[in-house]
Structure 1
Amino acid sequence: MANDIKDTVHAVEAAAVMELLPSRPRLLALGEPTHGEETLLDLRNDLFRQLVEQEGYRAIAVESDCMRGLVVDDYVTGGTGTLDGVMANGFSHPDLGLTASAANRELVRWMRAYNDGRPASESLRFAGFDGPLEITHAASPRGALTALHGCLAAQVDAALLPCTAETLDRLLGADDRWTDPAAMRDPARSVGRSEGARELRLLADDLVALLDERTPHLITATSRDEWNRARLYGRTATGLLRYHFWMADASPSRMTRLLGLRDRMMAGNLLALAERGPALVHAHNGHLQRARSSMRMGGRPVEWWSAGALVSAQLGDRYAFLATSLGTIHHKGVDTPPPDTVEGLLYALPEDRYLVDVRRLATVLADTRPAARVSPYYGYASLDPSHLAGYDGMVFVKDVPRR
């Protein structure tokens, strides 16, 4: 079988990726099975450069706060700020090492250098596509809601606005009411179902409706980029208020709703990105796969539809997903994979990394049913062999060293 397996693999190159796909997708999603490993981020950077230079891709989206991502985009497109400042303020999830990542820094530096001197129509764009959500808390809706109100107030008759900025400020109150970490475990600590929060949800809905109604004027008076930014503010404001509402829920379905809402926010941002041209998307496999995502929380299984599943349902073959699997992360206790797993079969091949044609791999495996690898490290999600049919390809990295 080893020789047959060898026939299913190629070098990890943009041209080889495109040969696996029926057409160039609007969104090419590259997953990762664990966060914070520079080797995987370096691979992402290499593939993105090739997609830009050979396939005309002009954007990348990563699993980071969509509002913070605007800071990075302003830097790479216009040189606003400094690289140090952008790395400190443009990424979320510090527990995943995004701000300290040398590979992320190199990505931002390279994008800025590439854009220097190029017209806007040829410039590379950066986006975060996660909501402003951390493991311990969700952000206050203040930033997105007041930004949306400000965009409209600058271009629309004040009589059409559903409220004043002062009303929003009064209803929002102190931001630490929204970001209280205790609310993640104790619904009673959340302000998401307070009288003020309910009123804010109605106002946010009216502001988004007004934005939609005034689209022709807003694009003409400002620019399509500014209009897209206002739409992002609207999605984020309504998404955060909905998320906080469900944080205050005490029913058994609370975590299922929260996890599903997070991926729904991701999907909304990705669909908006797809409108603007081909982009590479990078996040955990679990957010990008077409299958339902699952995890255990409090000893109970929780399942929800991933962002990839939601986007794929709408885009069809304009969405493509490459899962990444790996052999070892010795510094995290992930050692050589068992030979009866998909990872074990690929690990036996001589090269360090491969692009795998999963359709040919399925033919080679035929009636063989590879075992599922059991991960000894909670931060690494091993490949689920039953999901292979939902991949358009797979990247395999043999060893992930400590960096």
Structure 2
Amino acid sequence: MKPGDPLDTPADGATDDDTRLLKGLAPHLRPFERADQADGLVELMAQARLVLIGEASHGTHEFYLERARLTRALIEQHGCTAVVAEADWPDALRVDRYVRGRSEDASAAQALSDFARFPAWMWRNTVVEEFVEWLREHNRSVPAGRQVGFFGMDLYSLHASMHAVIEHLQSVDPGAAARARERYACFDHYAPEDSQAYGWGAAFGARPSCEDEAIAQLLEMNRRAAATLGPERDEAFYAQQNARLVRNAEEYYRSMFRGRVSTWNLRDTHMVQTLAALERHLQATRGTAPRMAVWAHNSHLGDASATEMGERGEWNVGQLARERWGREALLVGLTTSEGSVTAASDWGGPAERKRVRQPLPGSFERLFQEAGPDRFWLPLRDQFAVARLLAAPRLQRAIGVVYAPQTERQSHYFHARLPAQFDALLHIGRTHALQPLEPEPLWQEGEGEVPETWPSGL
């Protein structure tokens, strides 16, 4: 296949070449029991400064567990400096303060409690809770300058970030806090604390947008951060990042009613800006180039230019990271074939424990299901024989926070060229639903699941 060939040409169904393909792939599959003990995987990840570890759903226990194990190995063995998650900046910052002994929270569960917005289970779950407690204990055992931070890179926290900017300024400069309060009061002309209502009104001219006010406040925070030295430097940076988030979120919500591509690109651009800002800050405060582990969905971390997303004009974190950091960025995807997943039936709905349908013929998940080992990892970077074997695009499944098995082909599959999408892939054949920290009535065993006999058609 030549670069630029359309992605929608191959393989909705299995082909006669699958047997040959499986035979060719077999020598390249590396079975593992635990990802952090997989032959050569951690060593490959250690070669990069930015290790992006994905997931094929936001609700699979094994994805979170193996990602946490890999991150622990990077921290303990290779000096990883920060964990950066697909999470809101102010909510994650509370966790960061907990793991570095800077908060009054008594437990990881308490430190995670700001993750109250849907989908709460995405970060308020048993695996993340255990990892946060481990990270706190790790940080207690190392000097302050080597402690590992926990940060968010998403941009949904428009109002929470405004409050955080004002709260910070009130503690250091009440006059500056008054100016911020006056600028951000522009948003009060819309439905209070309703970001989408602001986006609708600003996009269609019901009231003037607050773009100028958000930019003015960011410029002031930039000046303040540049002039702040010493122990207060961290807090000035955190507030600056909240102001940057307000500016970017304002544009995001104002663009929400123009089309999906625009908002997707704005969101992933913000995530990469956050990674770059963190890199600069950590290097300036610690004196060495940081190594970061990034946690997000495959759809954000796999290179969009190797998928249907790119054909729609979308880019993502993985693509932008490769453009910015080159081979210093390593993209790791995670997939599964069957089991159960925590997801909602509709946006904003309750968490349910749902049965994951058998993978469609012609998909990577079906191919890997037939490959033999239940757990394996597949090196993709500089693996030219593998690249030839998997040159043709195939279907790939993506489950977010909503799972709609009745329309699975349309809702959850897209074509991808795997060797160009990721640098390594972990496949776990059968997986289980992620357990939320809060009781979820529809999540209980046997409730809310697709039955084993669910039809395999579509």
What's the TM-score, normalizing by structure 2? 0.71
The one-character-per-residue Cα deviations of 1:317-345 (angstroms, maximum 9, x if unpaired) are 12110111211135645344356543233
* Residue matched to 2:12: none
* Residue matched to 2:166: 146
Which consecutive unaligned segments of at least 5 residues does structure 1 have?
Answer: 296-300
Using a 3 Å threshold, how does the CA distance of structure 1 residues 50 and 272 change in structure 2: closer, same or farther?
same
- 1:30 Cα deviation from its structure 2 partner: 0.7
The one-character-per-residue Cα deviations of 1:347-373 (angstroms, maximum 9, x if unpaired) are 234433222112577624736646425
In structure 2, what is the Cα distance between the partners aligned to 1:302 and 1:370?
16
In structure 2, what is the Cα distance between the partners aligned to 1:192 and 1:110?
49
Q: Where do residues 322-333 of structure 1 align in structure 2 (5 Å cutoff)?
A: 322-330=332-340, 332-333=354-355
Using a 3 Å threshold, how does the CA distance of structure 1 residues 279 and 392 change in structure 2: closer, same or farther?
same
Using a 3 Å threshold, how does the CA distance of structure 1 residues 281 and 105 change in structure 2: closer, same or farther?
same
- 1:177 Cα deviation from its structure 2 partner: 2.8
Q: Secondary structure at the match of 1:323?
A: strand
In structure 2, what is the Cα distance between the partners aligned to 1:367 and 1:229?
46
> What value does the CA root-mean-square deviation take over the aligned residues?
3.5
Using a 3 Å threshold, how does the CA distance of structure 1 residues 88 and 19 change in structure 2: closer, same or farther?
closer
- Is the 1:62–1:281 Cα contact (8 Å) retained in structure 2? yes
- 1:208 Cα deviation from its structure 2 partner: 3.7
Q: Secondary structure at the match of 1:271?
A: helix
* Residue matched to 1:308: 318
The one-character-per-residue Cα deviations of 1:243-263 (angstroms, maximum 9, x if unpaired) are 24334xx6xx44332222211
Q: Does 1:38 align with 2:53?
A: no
User: Which of 363, 374, 377 lines up with 2:385 in the alignment?
Assistant: 363
The one-character-per-residue Cα deviations of 1:230-282 (angstroms, maximum 9, x if unpaired) are 331232122123224334xx6xx443322222112211111223343111111
User: Which of 51, 55, 59 lines up with 1:28 in the alignment?
Assistant: 51
- Is the 1:140–1:175 Cα contact (8 Å) retained in structure 2? no
In structure 1, what is the Cα distance between the partners aligned to 2:335 and 2:379?
13
The one-character-per-residue Cα deviations of 1:144-174 (angstroms, maximum 9, x if unpaired) are 44256447737xxx6xx69724523643437
Using a 3 Å threshold, how does the CA distance of structure 1 residues 200 and 144 change in structure 2: closer, same or farther?
farther
- 1:392 Cα deviation from its structure 2 partner: 0.9
* Residue matched to 1:298: none
- 1:111 Cα deviation from its structure 2 partner: 0.7
User: Which of 100, 104, 110 lines up with 2:128 in the alignment?
Assistant: 104
Q: Secondary structure at the match of 2:47?
A: coil
Q: Secondary structure at the match of 1:304?
A: coil
- Is the 1:33–1:284 Cα contact (8 Å) retained in structure 2? yes
Q: Does 1:262 align with 2:267?
A: yes
* Residue matched to 2:297: 284
What's the TM-score, normalizing by structure 1? 0.80
Q: Secondary structure at the match of 2:119?
A: helix
In structure 2, what is the Cα distance between the partners aligned to 1:55 and 1:382?
35
Using a 3 Å threshold, how does the CA distance of structure 1 residues 129 and 294 change in structure 2: closer, same or farther?
farther
In structure 1, what is the Cα distance between the partners aligned to 2:101 and 2:318?
30
Using a 3 Å threshold, how does the CA distance of structure 1 residues 320 and 192 change in structure 2: closer, same or farther?
farther
In structure 2, what is the Cα distance between the partners aligned to 1:96 and 1:294?
29
* Residue matched to 2:427: 396
- 1:41 Cα deviation from its structure 2 partner: 0.6
Following superposition, which runs of at least 4 residues in structure 1 exceed 6 angstroms of deviation?
Answer: 189-193
Percent identical: 21
Aligned length: 377
- Is the 2:379–2:424 Cα contact (8 Å) retained in structure 1? yes
Using a 3 Å threshold, how does the CA distance of structure 1 residues 388 and 63 change in structure 2: closer, same or farther?
same
Q: Does 1:229 align with 2:249?
A: no
- Is the 2:99–2:136 Cα contact (8 Å) retained in structure 1? yes
User: Which of 343, 349, 354 lines up with 2:376 in the alignment?
Assistant: 354
Q: Does 1:167 align with 2:182?
A: yes
* Residue matched to 1:74: 97
Q: Does 1:118 align with 2:142?
A: yes
The one-character-per-residue Cα deviations of 1:352-397 (angstroms, maximum 9, x if unpaired) are 3222112577624736646425777378845744243231111111
Which consecutive unaligned segments of at least 5 residues does structure 2 have?
Answer: 1-19, 283-289, 342-353, 399-403, 435-458
- Is the 2:55–2:297 Cα contact (8 Å) retained in structure 1? yes
Q: Does 1:16 align with 2:40?
A: yes
